Amino acid sequence: MDGRRRTQRRQLTRLVTAALVVASLGLLAPPAHAEAGPEVAVMTRNLYLGGDLTPSIGAPTLPAFLAANSALLGHVDLVDFPARAALFAEEIRERKPDLVGLQEVALWRTGRIGDPAPATEVRYDYLALLTAELAASGHPYDVAVVQDEADLEAPAGAPYNVDVRLTMRDVVLVRHGGRVKVTDTSSGNFVQNLVFPLAATGGTATSTRGWTAVDAVLGTRAFRFVNTHLEAFHPGVRVLQAQELLRGPLNVPGRVILVGDLNTGPELPDPNNRIAYFTLVAGGLVDTWPILHPGEPGYTAGLGDDLTQPADDVEHRIDMVMVRGVVVPVASEVFGTERQTPDGRWASDHLGHLAVLALP
């Protein structure tokens, strides 16, 4: 084992040890004597971009690359975000969260194949479609902050023969006219991001990820709400991104609420995929689900690319609400299998997670 790997292993061991010390001190539970305060309801929801990018990334030749990109665009059409947006809007209408953290808020655009200019013709704008559904339901939400993440463009072969552009975004929504007042917003991309080689073109693609945040007040209680989507395909990059969160948007005094698709958790089968979770715990974040639902798995991910798998096929808990400071978990739920689109699809390959938090 070389010196660099030994150093990384020692660092990871210290992170896990620190997290276990925090747990042993009882700091993973809210203080029993905490007085009740005003309650804020927060939600995290991954909207699912509409397909799997890995066949395109792994395509060995240019013809295979064109075919994979065409299949991806066809799958995005198949899973029909306009229909899924109606399901998301109904979930939000029923639960009335004060703040919503959204991930994979895709913007799909097309352009003339081979045109060096970026594609601009909108095919699906997930954010516009969802906010229109919410407004139509009589429960409008304001877009507090949007952060562009990965921006990828490539040619798609027959039958489309167009350039296809995917822009990923993370978004925070705030309930219009609600009790929570936003006083400031911020966002950013991570410095550490996964870079994929593209064998078909000899180039690379960067899985740019980041975070969005709002500073807000509920009555006289101030807090920061942070939404993020950590790297899915590389545990080392994911740990570095968790550390960036702790040094950046989470590095504030007072109450902090972190939501998102964290792609990490304490019970994931591969121990390497647990390390980012313990990094956040070692940084003082408290996982609200086991406090409120001890012994319950709370699975949130794994409904498959076609969104037609059985509802009980979820098998990972990676969509989380974590807190730090004087924040007391009151109630929470995992949801997303109550209804389907007319052609029998779930809203997303993830489930949603809502938590009600008291701010003493």
Look-up of token digits 């039958």: 159
195 in Cβ contact with 207 (< 8 Å): yes
Ordered domains of the chain (ranges, CATH) = 3-358 (3.60.10.10)
Other C-beta atoms closer than 10 Å to the C-beta of 138 total 7
- The helix (run of H) or strand (run of E) holding residue 186 is strand 180-189
- pLDDT mean over 321-336: 98
The CA-CA-CA angle for residues 336, 339, 345, to 5°, reads: 90
The torsion angles phi and psi of 92, rounded to 5 degrees, stand at -70, -40
Evaluate if residue 253 carries a pLDDT over 90.
yes
- pLDDT mean over 281-304: 97
pLDDT in tens, 118-139: 999 999 999 999 999 999 989 9
Tell me the two tokens of residue 92.
Answer: 């939000």
- pLDDT mean over 331-348: 97
Q: What pLDDT was estimated at residue 33?
A: 38
Evaluate if residue 315 carries a pLDDT over 80.
yes
pLDDT in tens, 341-350: 999 999 999 9
Q: What is the DSSP string of 115-139?
A: -SSPP-EEEEEHHHHHHHHHHHTT-
Total-model pTM: 0.91
Closest listed residue to residue 88, CA positions, set 301, 339, 312, 261: 339
Evaluate if residue 101 carries a pLDDT over 90.
yes
69 in Cβ contact with 201 (< 8 Å): no
**Amino acid letter at 58?**
G
Closest listed residue to residue 50, CA positions, set 92, 89, 82: 82
> What is d(CA 238, CA 273) in angstroms, rounded to the nearest whole number?
9
> What is d(CA 334, CA 45) in angstroms, rounded to the nearest whole number?
10
Evaluate if residue 323 carries a pLDDT over 50.
yes
Alpha helices for the chain (secondary structure H):
3-24, 54-58, 62-78, 81-95, 126-136, 235-247, 275-282, 288-292
- pLDDT mean over 175-196: 98
Residue 294 DSSP SS3:
coil
Tell me the two tokens of residue 119.
Answer: 């594609």
How much is the mean pLDDT over the chain? Answer: 92
pLDDT in tens, 31-62: 443 457 899 999 999 999 999 999 999 999 99
Share of the chain above pLDDT 70, in %: 90
Q: What pLDDT was estimated at residue 36?
A: 75
Q: Inter-axis angle of helices 235-247 and 3-24, to 10 degrees?
A: 60
Q: What pLDDT was estimated at residue 5?
A: 41
292 in Cβ contact with 327 (< 8 Å): no
Q: Inter-axis angle of helices 81-95 and 126-136, to 10 degrees?
A: 50
Evaluate if residue 169 carries a pLDDT over 60.
yes
Evaluate if residue 6 carries a pLDDT over 70.
no
Evaluate if residue 28 carries a pLDDT over 90.
no
